[in-house]
């Protein structure tokens, strides 16, 4: 079976529909076809400042949501990044073969640091993509299911894998991004020029899995729509309406063409009202299951500890090979 690895940050109280439709939905599907490793990347979540109590809670909520949307610990390895120390260890090695200029070209860093003020950004935010490369390469992943925003980081990961292999001998599988075009970039409801983002979107711009469905309905009703009145799919001219259609189609398995036809002669208001109902129906059982997992944190932690142990078995083998190729003395 081909190997797959992906991760998600515990940087908010809930995932949003961009996370789900762009990435996590594919994680669930790939459990059936791949040897799958998925992690809650808490090391990444401390790159932009955090509160320890909140982080610990969000890490559990993230894991609970992943289980609630269908990850099955019998069919994949689900773990928390900080519980597998090899991630930080390999990241150091990779940072030593990454060019400063190369890292400086990462657009996510430029965007996020511009928001914080470049001088106030942490070095961790800068080296984030190198840690992400370590996450992936430790598992010899063939494919990495992510949203469009991660394409550049994946390209860096591929470059680093190839560079290491050339410098020190074949060690890492060179991974390919797995990006499903239709849902690769769900945009902010209030700012359709930006992707929906846990940390950057305003609350009104997000549809969150764990939010009160009545609040989500209200956000959908006040989503920025475009000039004109007809429901048509045109991402350049009508990014707001096209985003709503994308979400609607993805959650119902109806095609966009079918939806456009169904809303002929109706207005944006009808589309929004119906989408709100679709979202409510989708999130309600997910919320119930998430709560159930969170009701038993000891059990959840146990499950994650088992995942970390399975992950470590693979990660430690890869790290040992990398250390050996580099010329470190063998550990006693
Ligand atoms: P943050 O703002 O803290 O970076 P995020 O919303 O970007 O949070 P991540 O945890 O960084 O979420 O990313 C998890 C996964 O979700 C990644 O695979 C990412 O590509 C995907 N993703 C994030 N936002 C979107 C989006 N708007 N549309 C599609 N996929 C997305
Ligand atoms: Mg992100």
Report the complex ipTM.
0.99
The predicted structure's pLDDT at residue 331: 83
* DSSP state letter for 177: E
State if residue 150 touches ligand 1 by the CB under 6 angstroms criterion: yes
Burial state string for 126-148 with b = 16 or more CB within 10 A and e = fewer than 16 = bbbbbbbbbbbbbbbbbbbbbbb
pLDDT digits (tens, 9 = 90+) for 47-91: 998 999 999 999 999 999 999 999 999 999 999 999 999 999 999
pLDDT 10s digits, 205-250: 999 999 999 999 999 999 998 888 899 999 999 999 999 999 999 9
Name the CA radius of gyration of the chain, rounded. 21
Which residue positions form the known binding site for L-tryptophan?
Answer: 135
| Digit-coded pLDDT (tens) for 184-203 | 999 999 999 999 999 999 99
Give the integer Cα–Cα distance in Å for 98 and 191: 34
Q: Whose CA is nearest to atom 17 of ligand 1?
A: 146
Let me know if 243 is exposed, middle or buried by CB neighbors in 10 A (0-12, 13-18, 19+): buried
Q: Catalytic residue at 219?
A: no
Cβ of 255 less than 6 Å from ligand 1 = no
- Report the C-alpha gap between 134 and 87 in whole angstroms: 6
Binned at pLDDT 50, 70 and 90, residue 283 comes out as: very high
195 is catalytic: yes
Largest CA distance in the chain: 75
With a CB cutoff of 8 Å and minimum separation 6, the contacts of 243 are 186, 187, 189, 192, 223
Q: Is 46 exposed, middle or buried (0-12, 13-18, 19+ CB in 10 A)?
A: middle
Going by pLDDT thresholds of 50, 70 and 90, the confidence category of residue 292 is very high
Single out the residue of 91, 115, 90, 86 nearest to residue 103, CA to CA: 91
Ligand 1 atom nearest residue 200's Cα: 2
**Which range has the worst mean pLDDT, 114-118, 151-155, 213-217, 236-240?**
114-118
Position 118 pLDDT exceeds 80: no
Contact 97, 160 (CB under 8 A): yes
Tokens 């939806």 correspond to 259
Average pLDDT of the segment spanning 147-166 = 98
Q: What is the pLDDT of residue 229?
A: 87
Q: Tell me which of 39, 145, 149 to substitute to probe ligand 1's pocket, judged by most ligand atoms within 8 Å of the beta carbon.
A: 149
Q: Is 198 in the active site? A: yes
On average, the pLDDT of the chain sits at 96
Query: What stretch of H or E contains 38?
Result: strand 35-40
Across 95-117, average pLDDT = 93
Residue 119 has pLDDT above 90, yes or no: no
pLDDT (0 to 100) of residue 116: 82
Tell me: pLDDT of 117 over 90: no
């Amino acid at each position: 079976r081909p190997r797959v690895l992906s991760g998600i940050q515990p940087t908010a109280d809930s995932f949003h529909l961009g996370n789900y439709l762009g990435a996590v939905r594919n994680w669930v599907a790939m459990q059936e076809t791949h040897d799958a490793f998925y992690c809650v990347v808490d090391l990444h979540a401390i790159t932009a400042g955090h509160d320890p109590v909140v982080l610990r809670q969000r890490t559990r909520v993230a894991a609970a949501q992943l289980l609630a949307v269908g990850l099955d610990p019998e069919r994949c390895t689900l773990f928390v990044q900080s519980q597998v120390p090899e991630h930080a260890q390999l990241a150091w090695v990779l940072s030593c073969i990454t060019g400063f200029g190369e890292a400086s070209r990462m657009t996510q860093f430029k965007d996020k640091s511009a928001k914080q003020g470049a001088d106030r950004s942490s070095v961790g935010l800068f080296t984030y993509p190198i840690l992400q490369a370590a996450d992936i390469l430790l598992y010899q992943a063939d494919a990495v299911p992510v949203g469009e925003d991660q394409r550049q980081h994946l390209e860096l990961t591929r470059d680093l894998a190839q560079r290491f292999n050339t410098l020190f001998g074949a060690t890492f599988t060179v991974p390919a991004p797995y990006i499903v075009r239709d849902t690769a970039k769900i945009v902010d409801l209030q700012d359709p020029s930006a992707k929906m983002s846990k940390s950057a979107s305003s609350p009104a711009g997000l549809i969150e899995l764990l939010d009160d469905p009545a609040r989500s309905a209200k956000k959908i009703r006040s989503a920025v729509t475009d000039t004109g009145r007809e429901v048509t799919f045109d991402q350049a001219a009508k990014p707001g309406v096209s985003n709503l259609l994308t979400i609607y189609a993805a959650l119902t398995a109806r095609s966009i063409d079918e939806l456009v036809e169904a809303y002929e002669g109706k207005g944006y208001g009808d589309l929004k009202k119906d989408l709100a109902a679709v979202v409510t129906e989708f999130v309600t059982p997910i919320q119930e299951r998430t709560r159930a997992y969170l009701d038993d944190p000891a059990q959840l932690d146990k499950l994650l500890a088992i995942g970390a142990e399975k992950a470590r078995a693979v990660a430690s083998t890869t790290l040992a090979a990398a250390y050996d190729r580099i010329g470190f003395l063998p550990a006693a």
